[in-house]
Structure 1
Amino acid sequence: MPNSQIRLFAAIGMGLSIALALSSCAGASAQVSADCVPKFDVPTSAAKTLKIAAPDYPPMFTYQNNVLGGVDGAFYEQFAKDACLTTEVTILPSAGVIEAVKNGQADVAGGGWFPTAERAKVIGQTTPAFANPAVFVAKDPATSLDTYRGKTIGTVQGFLWVSDLKAWGGDNIKLYESADAVFSDLKNGRIDTALLSVSSASYRIAAMGTSELKYAVVSPHPAIKAFNEPAVTNFPYVKSNAKLGDALNAAIKAYRADGTLERIVTTNGFKPEAAKP
């Protein structure tokens, strides 16, 4: 089959999977009081509703029993409340989230997204919200990548460092679909260390209820571009909706000033400095 047809079928498949997920996995919050006075002017695709697309990715985003959770979920909950909006949440695989925002099927994305020049071509990106650096996880983790030369490193597909890391480590780099799968192999001794974001690592170490595994923030390295840039997350939004971006940026500034961001990160197991990227 020609490459052009393969790409076409892949695009159609992605579109169908997003459409099916949007139709079957969405949930909405309660109605807003009629006398609510908005703190932020937020134009959205549906009247008085903020549509959020996100993966189920604790501790960055969760959605259970119509309740938003995790770092990004708590931010959007507060933002919607202050903007007098209801929320409509759609849980998608990570690969479909940015596509949903790009295509206008959601107003914003949750899940701890790093801003990149490539994503900026198709979506809007806010000012940095939270710090979420890369960490090595092991019984006695190192901070230097060179310590793991010739050893097996497990990480999750989609992280910004993956392509550079594969070029550096070759077959010693194992890619996984989820952080849970990485942790399973780490615990069973199939890999020497896991390379994850601090949010993902700290959450899973705490969930295990053990002090056996620890994490260490990765040092800059000339071979890995992502290790040398600020590891911060933002809130992606529909690129054409500049006023929504302005409102999100205003909320980030206000919540940082009044302590809301610090409350959100500490409630979700982060250190307070994560609110000051």
Structure 2
Amino acid sequence: MKTTLDELLAFKTVVDTGSISAAAERLEQTSSGISRALSRLEHKLNTTLMRRTTRRLELSEEGQLFLARARDILQSVEAAEDELACRHLKPAGRLRVNASSPFMLHVLVPLVTDFLAEYPDIELELHTGDGIVDLIEHRADVAIRHGPLRDSTLHARPLTASRLRLLASPAYLKKAGRPTKVDDLNRHTLLGFTQPESLNTWPLRHPEGDGLGITPDIAASSGETVRHLALCGAGIACLSDFMTEADRQKGDLVQVLLRDTLEVRQPVNAVYYRNTELASRIRCFVDFLALRMASPS
């Protein structure tokens, strides 16, 4: 390899700050040192990366291509350093975590004691919200999201995939009867969500195709509310395994229309913005969750 990480960092920082002097200040080096690093880099690559004028620095076409690669390389090195820091150092400070109420109660809360035993210097703040939150607005360092991701500005770490099932309480089925085919749902009370609408598409195989859009008879904004409605015998719900495993094991909720249910697993991701100061804390937390949730439910 011809180039060094110091040369790549100097090049990237000059672009990010807009000048050699500003880059030197950020990297705590001299302007002449940054300038020499750029010259060495261009000499090794045998190309002009930047056109220097008295007023501005302008990337050449080759410089634009090389910058993208340089960013990837430096980010990979930083990630590797963070991972090692997580193993050998003691991350400390406040870590704000946002998750839906069901995930917080059924998955995160039972893991908190073990996590803090491993990382006692981290101060956890746990925030719940059943909608998608803006991480910056809510000052969240990491959030847990279910389903397909839409925000491309976030880093995402897959944690697990949780199966969706149609569930009802034995008391409700005794009262209303057990559905034996999809059409039977027309005479049952259906429990669903106010938003997003995608949560009201149930993983059912039916004559019109795969996936049945339902209109809830009772709608709630929280998955935990829907779960409690089902437990109380209010109707049939479609819920993720991570929040109903204990209910199903105890027989408080039972699956219906198993033969017509598609194998649909809802992805669960940890998402976060890249933040150098908090990276080791975030990485330790996400690595901890990924390890504990390695097997899909």
TM-score, normalised to structure 1, is 0.50
> Separation in 1 of the partners of 2:240 and 2:101?
16
Which residue is 2:237 aligned to? 194
The alignment status of 1:98 with 2:130, answered yes or no, reads no
Q: Does 1:53 align with 2:93?
A: no
Displacement of 1:105: 0.4
Cα offset for 1:154? 0.6
Structure 2 residue 149 is matched with structure 1 residue 117: yes
Higher-strand-fraction structure = 2
> Which deviates more from structure 2 when the two are superposed, residues 132-141 or residues 241-250?
241-250
Once the 2 structures are TM-superposed, how far is the Cα of residue 89 of structure 1 from its aligned partner? 1.1
Equivalent positions of 1:238-249 (< 5 A) are 238=273, 243=279
- State the number of aligned residues: 196
2:253 aligns to what?
213
- Structure 1 residue 220 displacement after superposition: 7.9
Q: Distance in 2 between matches of 1:39 and 1:143?
A: 52
The secondary structure found in structure 1 opposite 2:155 is coil
Instruction: Kindly indicate whether residue 138 of structure 2 is the aligned counterpart of residue 108 of structure 1.
Output: no
Q: Which residue of 1 aligns with 2:36?
A: none
Q: Deviations over 1:149-198 (max 9, x none)?
A: 55432124446732545x9555455321344543555466543x111112
Q: Give 3-state SS (helix, strand or coil) of 2:167's partner.
A: strand
* Alignment partner, residue 13 of structure 2: none
* CA deviation map 1:226-276 (0-9, x unaligned): x665323122223566956765665456x3xxxxx26xxxxxxxxxxx724
Q: Deviations over 1:65-114 (max 9, x none)?
A: xxxxx42345566556556641231433323x632x2436021125xx31
Return the alpha-carbon distance in structure 2 between the equivalents of residues 88 and 104 of structure 1.
Answer: 15
Counterpart for residue 21 of structure 1: none
2:167 corresponds to 1:137: yes
The C-alpha deviation readout for 1:183-216, integer Å capped at 9, x for no partner, is 555466543x11111222334566xxx6363135
SS at structure 1 position matched to 2:95:
strand
Q: What RMSD in Å do the two structures reach over aligned CA positions?
A: 4.4
For the Cα contact (< 8 Å) 1:41–1:247, is it kept in 2? no
Measure, in 2, the Cα distance between the counterparts of 1:126 and 1:137: 29
**Percent identity over paired residues:** 13
CA distance in 2, matches of 1:162, 1:144: 21
Letter in 1 for 2:226: V
Instruction: Report the more deviating stretch, 74-83 or 232-241.
Output: 74-83
Query: Match of 1:61, SS?
Result: helix
Q: Which residue of 2 aligns with 1:235?
A: 270
Gapped regions of structure 1 (runs ≥ 5) = 1-36, 63-69, 222-226, 256-260, 263-273
Supply the AA of the counterpart residue of 2:95.
L
Residue 107 of structure 2, aligned match among 58, 71, 75:
71
Kindly provide the amino acid, as one letter, of the partner of residue 199 in structure 1. F
**Which structure 2 segments of 5+ residues have no match?**
1-84, 203-210
Contact 1:136 1:143 in 2 (8 A): no
Of structures 1 and 2, the larger Rg is shown by 2
Residues 30-67 of structure 1: CA deviation (Å, up to 9, x unaligned): xxxxxxx8417798xxx63322233543xx324xxxxx
SS at match of 1:117: coil
User: Aligned in 2, Cα 1:159/1:145: closer, same or farther, shift over 3 Å?
Assistant: farther
Question: Contact 2:96/2:127 (CA < 8 Å) preserved in 1?
Answer: no
